[in-house]
Amino acid sequence: MTWPLLREELSLLPGPKLADGQPSWTLHDPARNRFFSIDWSTFEVLRRWSIADAEAIAESVSQDSTLKLGVDDIEQVSRFLGENQLLQARPGNARQQAERLNKAHGSRFKWLLHHYLFFRVPLVRPDAWLGRWQGLAARFSSRSFALLTLAALLLGLTQVARHWEHFAASLVDTFTWSGLAAYGVALIVVKLLHELGHAFTAKRYGCRVPTMGVAFLVLWPMAYTDTNETWRLTSRWQRLRIAAAGIVTELAVAAWATLAWGLLPDGELRSAAFVLATTSWIATLAINASPFMRFDGYFILSDWLDMPNLHERSFALARWKLREWLFDLGEERPERFAAGKERALIVFAWVTWAYRLVVFLGIAVLVYHFAVKAIGILLFVVEIAWFILMPIRQELRAWQQRWPAIRRRQRSLLTLLLLTALLALALVPWPGRISTSGMLSPVAVWPVHAPGPAQLAEMPHAEGSLVAAGEPIARLVSPTLLARRETAAAQLERLRWLAASASFGSDSRNRLQSAQEELATAEAEFAGLNRELTRYEPRAPFTGRLYDLDPDLHSGQWLADKERLALLVGDEGYRVETYLGEEAVKRIQPGSPARFVTDGGNGTVLRLKVSHVDIDATRVLDDGRLAAQTGGHVLVRERRGQLIPEQGLYRVTLAVDSPVGALAGQSWRGTLVVHGERESLAGRYLRNALSVLLREAGF
């Protein structure tokens, strides 16, 4: 077998010390501008690669150093070199090279998929320009400028704290089309300065910056700077400064812009400073500082921990731990760390997976909504398949490769039983308990009010008394109405006498006709006053009991207009009203049982049954006590004095089947639990998914 040769253009550079104290080297492939960190044993093998014999290389390393290597170690290094295309192509091996190239490129669909998900567009070669302006850039990286920026930050934050209401109002005012356009321009400027911060810092430490341009992540543009040559640096602290330079630049811009907002008068310049400040703070803290995506925060954390490829190494450790939890395979760890660091890396991997799941799902939803519907559905499927389903498929493949060992382990049986139990829990129909807020109130209720300013003559009934239908509840006296009635009675008597004493002459007949018209008007007025006076003796419209009587009421007391006297509650019983969403309404029907308890815990738990469910969704919330702002569950917005639900809700009425006891006579808000139809968790989510698909497909 012909011994493979190393590519002649490769260069070997000294690297930083590894975490275990051993030296490292950096292997540079200038054709692809890629760097590979190698350890001491790999370096010793490469030094002797010209020996061209695995056994001889292993023996030489073992004799000349304290390392003890075997042929397997040499073959492992050879595989590493071959897989990363660091070996010379052998003569007559063109077909193998072509197959490898085609495999790397993949099909046209795979190429299109990769370039939809991520691709770069180099725009400039800034290395020479960065060298010419390095002197000016050095002033902004000096200690003096850092202290001035810190002072500007403290002063600016002081101004924001003093004028916080104005600052918050400015933030709300920018949510307009012109404001969003200003944010877009500010974001471009900030990101340009961000990338220049990386580039100038890398150039200051002697690294070449070959390109700067725009990268597209799921068609979303982002500026990028090629700083791969930072791997030449032996100091990880220098690499950390380069990685942090973009964030530091944005924070400096935010500090000075915040100070400018605090000092400038109202106008265009102050508005521009506000937009620049908020854009810098948000872009830095919410995006760039995150270590869960391959942004600056990730590289800062990686350099600080001195762990290149932090994501891949933590992911490998988390996958190994998952397999040990599930199957107890007893496999060797991908890497060995201290116990605390190992746990931290595993937790970091799990958090990163959860974070990416949320981010990629969000991107998929945005792509779906902002693209043409057919294209949006396709791209949504691509997002889910590539970022979520493919990693799961790869892990399942790893399980398949280990299947002979998995099926022999006792832990695997326990895992299978646990998965079966979880599947059963997902498929078994469970009682559908719907918990919400509701209002308990009497079915028949009639508030008793004073119809106008009056004096209380008599209140014949006490608190809780039974009043029959038609029986007077109170007797009120209105001196004004009585006086008007007496006046009207005297006028009516006079007109009747005039009509009776008229003669039969022509003039008398004319006066009689006029008197009769006045008499009819007076009789109508007199009857109206009598009807008005009957309102001052309110009678029960139905049989019920009186509640909420003011204990201080007494005969002779003056009452104001519309002043409440009592509450008549009928014997028809009590009901509870609530509002439920479409999914919850589908799980209940008339007759479904329920339970109700007041918020204050007063009284006993009431037994209920669903009596009615509205067919149409509620447009306006009649009872504001069920709104979220007052402690209820319904999210509403106020418009023209009305409470409009944020989502489609249906009014549900429930009849009370048990005595209300101490709750009688009043309305109470409380917690309502309705027992809906039995349904499995899997069935619920499947139905929701199908309903969304059918709705979005236009069916």
Q: Which helix (H) or strand (E) holds 100?
A: helix 94-105
- On whether the CB atoms of residues 326 and 405 are closer than 8 A, the answer is no
Q: What is the DSSP letter of 662?
A: G
pLDDT exceeds 80 at position 436:
yes
Q: Can you give the pLDDT at residue 74?
A: 87
Ranked by mean pLDDT, which of 16-25, 238-247, 361-370, 566-575 comes out on top? 238-247
Confidence of residue 693 (pLDDT cuts 50, 70, 90): low
What is the phi/psi pair of residue 9, to 5°?
-85, -5
pLDDT exceeds 70 at position 173:
no
Q: Can you give the pLDDT at residue 508?
A: 59
What is the phi/psi pair of residue 77, to 5°?
-65, -40
Query: What strands lie across the sheet with 475-477, from one edge to the other?
Result: 475-477, 454-458, 558-559
Q: Can you give the pLDDT at residue 501?
A: 66
Confidence of residue 374 (pLDDT cuts 50, 70, 90): low
pLDDT tens digits for 551-599?
878 888 888 888 888 888 887 788 999 999 887 888 888 889 999 999 8
At a CB cut-off of 8 Å and minimum separation 6, what does 628 contact?
634, 635, 636
Tokens of residue 399, six digits: 């399980």
Q: Can you give the pLDDT at residue 653?
A: 93
Q: Which amino acid is at 22?
A: Q
Long-range contacts of 342-347 (CB under 8 A, 24+ apart): 342/317, 345/313, 345/314, 345/317, 345/318, 346/314, 346/317, 346/318, 346/321
What is the phi/psi pair of residue 430, to 5°?
-110, 150
pLDDT exceeds 70 at position 96:
no
User: How are beta strands 574-581 and 649-656 bridged, if at all?
Assistant: antiparallel
Confidence of residue 473 (pLDDT cuts 50, 70, 90): confident
Look at the alpha carbons of 157, 158, 161, 164 in this order and tell me if their dihedral is positive or negative. Answer: negative
- On whether the CB atoms of residues 352 and 340 are closer than 8 A, the answer is no
Could you tell me which residue, 529 or 405, shows the higher pLDDT?
A: 405
Query: Mean pLDDT over residues 86-103, rounded?
Result: 62
Query: Mean pLDDT over residues 9-36, rounded?
Result: 80
- The DSSP code sequence of 368-389 is HHHS-HHHHHHHHHHHHIIIII
Instruction: Output the furthest CA–CA distance in the chain (Å, rounded).
Output: 156
The C-alpha atoms of residue 199 and residue 555 are separated, in whole angstroms, by 91
Q: How many CB atoms lie within 10 A of CB 90?
A: 12
Q: Can you give the pLDDT at residue 680?
A: 77
The C-alpha atoms of residue 399 and residue 406 are separated, in whole angstroms, by 8
Confidence of residue 106 (pLDDT cuts 50, 70, 90): low
Name beta bridge partners: 654: 576, 610
Q: Can you give the pLDDT at residue 345?
A: 93
Q: Which of 562, 568, 559 is nearest to 463 (CA)?
A: 568
In this prediction the pTM is: 0.62
Q: Which helix (H) or strand (E) holds 497?
A: helix 479-501
pLDDT exceeds 60 at position 407:
yes
pLDDT exceeds 70 at position 644:
yes
- On whether the CB atoms of residues 244 and 296 are closer than 8 A, the answer is yes
The C-alpha atoms of residue 27 and residue 11 are separated, in whole angstroms, by 6
Share of the chain above pLDDT 70, in %: 87
Least confident of 74-88, 463-477, 509-523: 509-523
pLDDT exceeds 60 at position 506:
no
Cβ neighbourhood burial of 299 (10 Å; 0-12, 13-18, 19+): buried
Least confident of 29-33, 173-177, 643-647: 173-177
Q: Which amino acid is at 350?
A: W
Confidence of residue 610 (pLDDT cuts 50, 70, 90): very high
Q: What is the DSSP letter of 626?
A: G
Vertex 522: Cα angle to 517 and 526 (nearest 5) = 150
pLDDT tens digits for 475-500?
888 888 888 888 888 887 877 777 67
Query: Mean pLDDT over residues 278-283, rounded?
Result: 72
Q: Can you give the pLDDT at residue 516?
A: 74
pLDDT exceeds 60 at position 151:
yes
Could you tell me which residue, 143 or 600, shows the higher pLDDT?
A: 143
Q: Can you give the pLDDT at residue 387?
A: 74
Least confident of 318-322, 590-594, 650-654, 682-686: 682-686
The C-alpha atoms of residue 389 and residue 577 are separated, in whole angstroms, by 44
SS3 category, 460: coil
SS3 category, 437: strand
- On whether the CB atoms of residues 652 and 626 are closer than 8 A, the answer is no
Tokens of residue 561, six digits: 């207009």
Confidence of residue 293 (pLDDT cuts 50, 70, 90): confident
The C-alpha atoms of residue 541 and residue 572 are separated, in whole angstroms, by 13
Q: Can you give the pLDDT at residue 98?
A: 55
Tokens of residue 231, six digits: 């791997």
- On whether the CB atoms of residues 653 and 588 are closer than 8 A, the answer is no
Tokens of residue 4, six digits: 């493979």
- On whether the CB atoms of residues 643 and 680 are closer than 8 A, the answer is no
The C-alpha atoms of residue 399 and residue 410 are separated, in whole angstroms, by 16
Share of the chain above pLDDT 90, in %: 13
Vertex 161: Cα angle to 159 and 166 (nearest 5) = 80
Q: Can you give the pLDDT at residue 254?
A: 87
| 670, HSE (Cβ side, Cα atoms, 13 Å) | 23
Q: Which of 581, 656, 575, 669 is nearest to 623 (CA)?
A: 669
- On whether the CB atoms of residues 575 and 653 are closer than 8 A, the answer is yes
